[in-house]
Chain A
Amino acid sequence: MAAVNPSLSLIGARTHQVLNAGQKGALTLTGIGLLLLFLAFFGVSLPAPTVWLVVSLLALGLGGAWYGWAAYRQLPAGIKNNGVWLASLTSRGILGWLTAIVLTGFYVLLYFFPAHLGLATVAGEANQGIVGFFDPLSRVLNGNPASQWFVYGTLYTVAILAMGVKFIYKYRHNRYQVVRTLSVMFFQLGFAFLIPEILSALQQPSMDLKNMWPLNYYFFYDWNIKKLATSGGLGIFMLGWGVAMIFVVSPVLTYLYGKRWYCSWVCGCGGLAETAGDPFRQLSDKSLGAWKVERWVIHSVLVLAVIMTLAVLHSFFRSNPATYWVTREMFLGVAIATLLGVALLLWLRPRVFKGVPVWVKGLATVLLIGIVVLTLQAYLQNQSRIFGLSSYKLREWYGFYIGSIFSGVIGVGFYPIFGSRVWCRFGCPMAAILGLQQRFFSRFRITVNGGQCISCGNCSTYCEMGIDVRAYAQRGQDVVRASCVGCGICAAVCPRGVLRLENSAADVSTRAAALRTLHLDPKEGVRLL
């Protein structure tokens, strides 16, 4: 046969499965950053460690960002999911499992064996290892030696920034994705990382101002309240802000825009999932069974978080009855009114809760009233234990199993196995509260564009929360789901322009029910819309 004409496809034989020179360079740079961390971990001390720390962090950050630039810059803007299920890292192959093991191992060390990371365990001793490696940066920012949490926070922030740049290149044609990613990068760098560090350098109480209870489960712990209440105006402001976030800011924003304002625009856990976790979003389980497990588990965690917080506050007010202007009775009154208010709402506003089975409402009511009764009993008998449990045991238990194992080890360590939102979907009590608000008191939904859906499944596949979006799209039903974090990827990957994230109060009470698409009317025949 004659030779092929010199054709445009020769120029176009662009590679992204095969790494190009830029990607190789970027991976090398990232590798150098990681190598320096490993050297520090194994206790190799280098001359001028400050320089090497800066080199390492820059190499990690710039390497990650460069990788995204090299991978996507040369390709026409568009959806970049080629080969996702063919690559070992992103389809639970050997690379995926290895990554999961390394990540999980890191979390185990971080939470349970920080001394192995070099944290000084005896007062007066200097940090060693990787924690010691971060001392210079910690001193600059807050004046103190590093802790394992400082190391974690720094690496976490670098990961969100670098992978955020990669994500922005990947979705550069989609302004919603670009703006949203800039937002999570901003909140991580400013609110989660720099502001708390600077506040502690200024001898002020440090706090991540966007980290709300109950995700921030220690907000109501006695040491935190005491710290904030005794730190002057700023501390009192932070206490008030924390409470206002729960009762005012969050309900209003969730009503207007859905829980996405937090989960995929502000939250740090969400920020990592959306950036570093993006390559793994397709690994979430979409089955009906997983949805069922999700509802039981996440709402159980919410109940636990509420009980634990009540117990902690109860014992706090019991031992500090006259210290602050909030009295024990005021606190109990607000708590009981809130719990009973929710229970009443379930029955007094049946239209809002249409479609919720009676047994679910009943179970919720029994739980809410049960908590109220046990709280009252503890108050009247002036017991330190509530629900028959010691608040210290309870919070120790919660911190270990929920705060550490669930959100860290499983939540992030298992990204390459269960997808990037395991914690957000199954565990986060904050997501549970926002989800209930989103499901019942929000204008937000994902609308479906008439009859254009071809049931291809891209939306469901790339839903990190494991929502079977297609099941709604092919029926023309608006997606109203407690778990939806509003990342907008379903709408982005849809090849037929079927999905849109929208807010409207006009049909707020019927938005979950509307069946808008092709269906049969016995009088008019099959009709559209």
Chain B
Amino acid sequence: MHVVIIGNGISGITAARFIRKHSDFAITVISNESDEFFSRTALMYVYMGHMRLRDTQPYEPGFWKKNRIDRKRGWVQKIDQGDRVLYLADGERISYDRLIIATGSRSNKFGWPGQDLDRVHGLYHLQDLEAMEAASAGLERAVIVGGGLIGVEMAEMFHSRHIPVTFLVRETSFWDIVLPPEESAMINRHLLEQGIDLRLNTELREVVGDEQGRAVGVITQSGEEIACGFVGLTAGVSPNIGFLQNSGIEVKRGVLVDENLQTNIPGIYAVGDCAEMRTPQPGRRPIEAVWYTGRMMGETVAHNICNPDTPVAYNPGIWFNSAKFFDIEYQVYGDIRAQAPANHRSLYWEHPDGRRSIRIVYDAGTEVVLGFNVMGIRYRHEVCQHWLAQKATIETVLCELPLANFDPEFFPAYEAFVLAKYAQQTGKQIQTNHRRGLREVLTLLGK
């Protein structure tokens, strides 16, 4: 049995590792991007000088040989699913018995004039990083278009090299399609504090180029011209599946897969950013381009290929995510909406320094807690997950709240402020008799 995996990102590599754990199948991983598997989310730190590229590679070079995972550099041009053969751009043919498509995403471009000029890049691939590096010498300003996680990463990258950044954000407040208004405002303030030229309510009209085809500036929808030597396009990503046209594999925005991650063609699977669930689990989106879903999908597909008689359904469980906006860490567990529906009630406390906050959302009727959103404070995944799975009420959660804290030792405790806020909002006094720390957490989790 020969399993071929297209893409050596986290999804493809996780699949390869677990297929090796479960079986003796031959495994080939094809990538056109890089010989080595690296952490895509860490690319920014290479540019910023926090790490070398090799520090972002989780496995030592000998790992692949030891685990008999063959790696191949190449671009898959065509899939002949009838004969089960792949055609690479250089003409090589590779036959497979099982195929996993794990080709990730590509940066969105929305048809802006000049979007394909030189020095206009997204930030997703290693090649984008190389392009940023090449453009950085003598760069006097970068303009970044699109206020999401990748946009703020790119802003931090240029900022770390003392390159002034103008950050065009279409929305009225940073990432306000995901963050509730207070958290979004906190990041607006923080970006300004860092010295980013943040332009809210500002859309790109076109990228302006010079005679050599290099970007030299942008024009916004309001007609303002901003001179710059680099334009970052960070208005989201979409599945990278252009090569699947006419392959017979059913696609919508991504590669359509069933709950076992199989496409419409038996023996062909898709995982990670490029996969689109036909019927996503409740509370989850059909396409989720985040790190841990790639890992979970990789592990699921490996199980299903190696145990075809007992396949398991992909189930990512309760939503969680995290990010860091310059110096403010962000963690979310459960259902936190930017625009709260009528039944969502929010308990929100913000530190007077305006850089830390805790939000607990619960159902107005049942008082069952629905989600946690913390900024500048760390919460313990297992504890939040436990409460959400148990459908704990707000009063239970508040009583046990110290157990959620995952900040380092000696960090100040904020639970009393949250309880006071709750008392102020509801008139109910909650006491906590719990203390931070692992011992009580293990008791709570029944370990």
Q: Which residues of A contact B (CB under 8 A)?
A: 1-5, 7-15, 17-18, 76-79, 81-87, 173-176, 179, 287-288, 447, 449-452, 454-458, 460-461, 470-471, 474, 488, 491-493, 495-497, 500-507, 516, 518-520, 522, 524-529
Q: Are B216 and A7 in contact (CB under 8 A)?
A: no
Contact of B329 with A by CB under 8 A: yes
Task: Enumerate chain A residues within 8 angstroms of B70, measured Cβ to Cβ.
Answer: none
Q: Are A14 and B162 in contact (CB under 8 A)?
A: yes
Q: Are B160 and A520 in contact (CB under 8 A)?
A: no
Taking CB as reference atom, which chain A residue is nearest B315?
A525
A519-B385 Cα distance, complex, nearest whole Å: 15
Task: Return the contact of B41 from the options A78, A81, A454, A525 (Cβ within 8 A).
Answer: A454
One digit per residue, 1 when the CB lies within 8 angstroms of any chain A CB and 0 when it does not, for chain B 166-187 equals 1000000000000000000000
B269 nearest CB across to chain A (Å): 14
Task: Enumerate chain A residues within 8 angstroms of B307, measured Cβ to Cβ.
Answer: 522
Q: Are A519 and B447 in contact (CB under 8 A)?
A: no
Contact of B265 with A by CB under 8 A: no
A275-B141 Cα distance, complex, nearest whole Å: 36
Contact of B420 with A by CB under 8 A: no
Taking A174-B408, A519-B299, A520-B303 as given, write out 13 further A-B residue pairs in contact, using a Cβ cutoff of 8 Å, ordered by the A residue number.
Answer: A1-B208, A9-B165, A82-B48, A83-B48, A175-B412, A176-B409, A454-B39, A455-B10, A457-B55, A500-B378, A504-B442, A518-B296, A528-B318
Q: Are B382 and A450 in contact (CB under 8 A)?
A: yes
Task: Enumerate chain A residues within 8 angstroms of B414, measured Cβ to Cβ.
Answer: none
Contact of B314 with A by CB under 8 A: yes
Within 8 A of A (CB), among B311-333: 312-318, 320, 322-324, 326-327, 329, 331
Q: Are A457 and B408 in contact (CB under 8 A)?
A: no
For the complex of A and B, the 9 pairs showing the least CB-CB separation, nearest first, are: A12-B195, A450-B381, A78-B327, A497-B378, A456-B42, A7-B197, A504-B438, A9-B164, A525-B312
Task: Enumerate chain B residues within 8 angstroms of A13, measured Cβ to Cβ.
Answer: 162, 164, 195
One digit per residue, 1 when the CB lies within 8 angstroms of any chain A CB and 0 when it does not, for chain B 35-64 equals 000010110010011111001111010000
Asked whether A506 and B226 contact (CB < 8 A) given A77-B327, A175-B410, A492-B408, the answer is no
Task: Enumerate chain B residues within 8 angstroms of A457, measured Cβ to Cβ.
Answer: 39, 42, 45, 51, 55-58
A83-B326 Cα distance, complex, nearest whole Å: 15
Task: Enumerate chain B residues within 8 angstroms of A470, measured Cβ to Cβ.
Answer: 58
Task: Enumerate chain B residues within 8 angstroms of A526, measured Cβ to Cβ.
Answer: 296, 299-300, 303, 312, 314-316
A252 nearest CB across to chain B (Å): 18
Q: Are A1 and B216 in contact (CB under 8 A)?
A: yes
Taking CB as reference atom, which chain B residue is nearest A510?
B447
Q: List 11 A-B contacts (CB under 8 A).
A: A9-B166, A12-B196, A13-B162, A18-B162, A82-B48, A450-B320, A450-B381, A455-B41, A456-B42, A502-B437, A518-B292
Q: Are B331 and A452 in contact (CB under 8 A)?
A: yes
Task: Return the contact of A79 from the options B60, B327, B412 (Cβ within 8 A).
Answer: B327
Contact of B80 with A by CB under 8 A: no
Q: Are A501 and B409 in contact (CB under 8 A)?
A: yes
A305-B257 Cα distance, complex, nearest whole Å: 63
Task: Return the contact of B164 from the options A2, A7, A86, A507 (Cβ within 8 A).
Answer: A7
Task: Enumerate chain A residues within 8 angstroms of B58, measured Cβ to Cβ.
Answer: 455, 457, 470-471, 474
